[in-house]
Structure 1
């Protein structure tokens, strides 16, 4: 990255300007990694141990930032604990991202972390634009040298840079798109930030089909084929192509606000009558689209499918008496209700509304040899799950209900064990119960690319009716676990709560799914606790924005 640049230091700010400066001016003070890209230590010097001191953190961070700003990738990489990985990315900052000037301002260290702001200029083929962002680095003790070094992470370069990715500036590979909702209202990333990666993914897949022209941009070039590139800066706009989606701006806006209530939250809304996805929102530190591709145990929201299986196999019906003891054992494992509650002589509707685990585990014994496959068959045949054939228009997870045995079978009946779902899956389950038939979720019309949609058999009318009644009772009945969350939701409404325990996680994941009129939604709040406490208000807020 030696590109005839030099660094000026003004008040602790490192500025890349024209000229040239070598590494030796500050390498003598700070030291660094070995020339072969590994840490090295002199046999005659004492190797320090323990956390880096305040002065070491300051010297190392300033030395690294100074070298980086100067355009000297080799010098900067030598001040990290992974020169071989760091140097190409630092080199690419000038040669591939075309950063021609960088002003880097370090902030006060917080422990071993040093925050900083970058105000850069990007220039490409006569187009120039300012670019600013903030990131941070961490100073650690080198394992072999004992020197204080920058712990190398891609986010040191830019907070959205991921492992294996790189920064690029040039003509975009696909035309920009103007995504619009089903009423033709524009959906921009600024107003709907959760849609940023969604719009990027849609652009990657459909940009060439919308009649637009490419612009000049700076972007994160993803290494993985199934992960879209992320645009960071537009130097010159191309002509965006118009892309129709099924999203609804009002429902999306409600979803955007709702997920802000709790960290690590994702929600999806689906129209039961068509399968059209009306909203997708995530509030996650990692930016992952868990709403569509998350793979998590759904807890008791899965009892919608289990209840359908029970009814269709003649093991019970909504108004038949069932058992709900405080605990039940199966294959040496004891399963509990929340706080070990029990219900005397409940109906299946009562047990569903109170989310009685033991009621839904009892059928394992009654199904005998079919117990390990019955739930998966019900999910595949009637709810369209677990067959990896959904063509939503985006990358999505279709759910997994593997064959099970022993205690794992019992756990799967209450949404635990090896069973995995996303909020999209559970919103679709609720939509299927509401409509009486599975409609594959989708975000762009199939006419755009002629892709086939997944299908499933319609639920028998009496089964669908009982599922809806049990969900309505959960949302409105005096002991329904969804009553509090759904109290502000109008129309024909129903719900199901869920809490999913995760190994090594102190608090369970909060799940909630519900419907109101022709809108179904599902949410998960990781480490959110009870379903009605965290995920419930998120779903309710989304449903209130529906028709």
Structure 2
């Protein structure tokens, strides 16, 4: 019989239809044409790699000469390269005598590390139906042999420095003690929690809940302390059954409160931080990495952390034979870039010491007039540190600096203009009063400002256009949505208030809100003549448009008024601290009777030991400005 030749579609075992030439002969068999079978080989290799890359190990293994062995190899690869994603790229195909070789390139998107690429080769054999990939270790990596597996070691570079204004690093490796609980050793959990709480300040209820929720055998952290801080409580906690104290090293600022709101802190990555840093859903960092958890350390995470590197080695699966630890590839970690802040340690230390002496929550922010550089950000242990920059508080009479700006800008008032200062003043049926209803009679505007006469400012402000206070505030940058790495609340002064609200706004009550940082910027604007944009990082993009600033003639009139506050007004305790200008403030809040009040002082010092400085102090719940003035006095006295 004469053979008949025709071209038929042949369906491979993987379902890919390939056009090839077959020979139909009189024998009871159907074979492939004698033409080039490379397309069928390519399809088989492609199907195997696609299944592997998709994570379908069972389907990929089924396309090999030994599905069980191949499945074990692919499962081992997944364990060796956790969370990695494979992208294969096929190369050339060579077929000879029932065997085939397919070159391909493996590119692994390693979790929290750079990509890893290498050339590899698949061996295939002709099977009864199509082609099978040879199940051998080299299908994972050409350097991999029998009884071996890959070992991926990931490494972050040393974290880049955050420096002070002179370029000196502010963080250094510091010994710490992790105070925690080993649940297996606990004999009396309530007693342990109470004792640890008394020593550390962490709530006993929180400690108890964490221990009860922890998986068996897991260390439960309570607090991390610097070695000196731990030694101070050692006698209280060391012999408690269940308490354990592993040591380590952390990258820490000079003290626990040193510019904490701005600098932030570094510690083991939290789930929230890892999710925030992910790129297109892929992790940029891994659990256990030391990352920025707050402040600049978190806001500038990528710049400071750099990029992880890795090494890949082959090792024996039983840990005892063959090529253990033989490195086959590596990518060096890429260090990050340092960040320079305008912080001045001498100023920061003085600010920290000043607020530390106050038992109530206290904040102090220092800004350089003219440049807007943030020189210090201080909050004491009782305060929420972030509120120094982003807190929103009624400013009380410190707002009169802005109200005076609006009034002086009209041209109808001068520092010498006589103004009434009655003990009380009624607006739309609501009675407002001065502190203890003091009554100065008619006095120069400067005197009303220096003595913080509420009724004067209410009377005068009601004669202004409704938007005048907001407009005056805006000349200092108030109301700006500053674009900074660490948020600063730019303040809020309504532009459409009338009646009692307008009167209250003039004395920093009503609907006016400020942060200590923004009030320091207002003081800097008065001192420098040209308000500045806040600067947290030297050389960074401007945080916003430069405010227009009040008319120079207005500032020339306002500065002597602020000086008089110190010389003869409500802040005479600062009279011996050099050339100091400022304004006190008492801001009522809450619903208690009599109402609670915050205490403020905002102002500036010219030609002091640290040059020209502008600052704002807030003592939460201080009831009057006296505590804020006291913190200011301690700060200025600590500058040298």
Q: TM-score range by the shorter chain?
A: 0.5 to 0.7
Whole-angstrom CA distance in 2 between matches of 1:306 and 1:153: 55
Please state whether the residue corresponding to 2:259 is helix, strand or coil.
helix
Question: Structure 1 339/384 Cα, relative in aligned 2: closer, same or farther at 3 Å?
Answer: same
Q: Which residue of 2 aligns with 1:391?
A: 483
Q: Which residue of 1 aligns with 2:348?
A: 252
Pairing partner for 1:195 from 259, 267, 270 = 259
Query: Is 1:322–1:348's contact at 8 Å kept on the other side of the alignment?
Result: yes
Deviation, structure 1 residue 277: 0.9
| 1:140-165 CA distance string (max 9 Å, x none) | xxxxxxxx9999999x96469xxxxx
1:22-421 alignment, distance < 5 Å:
114-116=194-196, 135-138=202-205, 158=222, 189-191=253-255, 193-200=257-264, 217=289, 241-262=337-358, 263-285=360-382, 287-367=384-464, 370-371=465-466, 373-380=467-474, 382-388=475-481, 390-403=482-495, 404-421=497-514
Whole-angstrom CA distance in 1 between matches of 2:504 and 2:577: 31
Q: Which residue of 2 aligns with 1:529?
A: 623
Query: Is 2:377–2:388's contact at 8 Å kept on the other side of the alignment?
Result: yes
Whole-angstrom CA distance in 1 between matches of 2:583 and 2:524: 12
Whole-angstrom CA distance in 2 between matches of 1:287 and 1:318: 39
Structure 1 length normalisation: TM-score? 0.60
Pairing partner for 1:519 from 613, 633, 639 = 613
Q: Which residue of 2 aligns with 1:497?
A: 584
Query: Is 2:257–2:380's contact at 8 Å kept on the other side of the alignment?
Result: no
Deviation, structure 1 residue 194: 3.6
Question: Structure 1 469/270 Cα, relative in aligned 2: closer, same or farther at 3 Å?
Answer: same
Whole-angstrom CA distance in 2 between matches of 1:435 and 1:386: 20
Deviation, structure 1 residue 540: 2.7
Query: Is 1:214–1:238's contact at 8 Å kept on the other side of the alignment?
Result: no
Deviation, structure 1 residue 287: 3.4
Query: Is 1:134–1:159's contact at 8 Å kept on the other side of the alignment?
Result: no
Whole-angstrom CA distance in 1 between matches of 2:527 and 2:436: 31
Query: Is 2:257–2:379's contact at 8 Å kept on the other side of the alignment?
Result: no
The unaligned stretches of length 5 or more in structure 1 are 1-96, 119-131, 140-147, 161-175, 178-187, 208-212, 230-236
Deviation, structure 1 residue 336: 0.3
The unaligned stretches of length 5 or more in structure 2 are 1-177, 215-219, 225-249, 268-272, 278-284, 302-332, 607-611
Q: Which residue of 1 aligns with 2:558?
A: 467
Whole-angstrom CA distance in 1 between matches of 2:351 and 2:399: 22
Whole-angstrom CA distance in 2 between matches of 1:215 and 1:544: 45
Whole-angstrom CA distance in 2 between matches of 1:285 and 1:424: 18
Deviation, structure 1 residue 240: 7.4
1:483 aligns with 2:575: no
Query: Is 2:364–2:388's contact at 8 Å kept on the other side of the alignment?
Result: yes
Whole-angstrom CA distance in 2 between matches of 1:471 and 1:512: 11
Deviation, structure 1 residue 413: 0.1
Whole-angstrom CA distance in 1 between matches of 2:478 and 2:449: 21
Please state whether the residue corresponding to 1:345 is helix, strand or coil.
strand
Deviation, structure 1 residue 261: 1.8
Question: Structure 1 504/378 Cα, relative in aligned 2: closer, same or farther at 3 Å?
Answer: same
Whole-angstrom CA distance in 2 between matches of 1:466 and 1:319: 10
Q: Which residue of 2 aligns with 1:444?
A: 537
Larger Rg: 2
Query: Is 1:201–1:227's contact at 8 Å kept on the other side of the alignment?
Result: no
Q: Which residue of 1 aligns with 2:3?
A: none
Whole-angstrom CA distance in 2 between matches of 1:315 and 1:459: 16
Whole-angstrom CA distance in 1 between matches of 2:463 and 2:514: 26
Q: Which residue of 1 aligns with 2:596?
A: 507
Query: Is 2:462–2:499's contact at 8 Å kept on the other side of the alignment?
Result: no
Question: Structure 1 296/227 Cα, relative in aligned 2: closer, same or farther at 3 Å?
Answer: farther
Whole-angstrom CA distance in 1 between matches of 2:423 and 2:530: 34
Deviation, structure 1 residue 546: 5.2
Whole-angstrom CA distance in 1 between matches of 2:591 and 2:183: 43
Question: Structure 1 504/365 Cα, relative in aligned 2: closer, same or farther at 3 Å?
Answer: closer
Deviation, structure 1 residue 376: 0.6
Count of residue pairs brought into register by the alignment: 376
| 1:214-234 CA distance string (max 9 Å, x none) | 995467978xx99899xxxxx
Whole-angstrom CA distance in 1 between matches of 2:505 and 2:266: 34
Query: Is 1:270–1:276's contact at 8 Å kept on the other side of the alignment?
Result: yes
Query: Is 2:493–2:512's contact at 8 Å kept on the other side of the alignment?
Result: yes
Please state whether the residue corresponding to 2:463 is helix, strand or coil.
helix
The alignment yields a C-alpha RMSD, in angstroms, of 4.1
Whole-angstrom CA distance in 1 between matches of 2:628 and 2:188: 37
Please state whether the residue corresponding to 1:138 is helix, strand or coil.
helix
Structure 2 length normalisation: TM-score? 0.52
Indicate the structure with greater strand content. Answer: 2
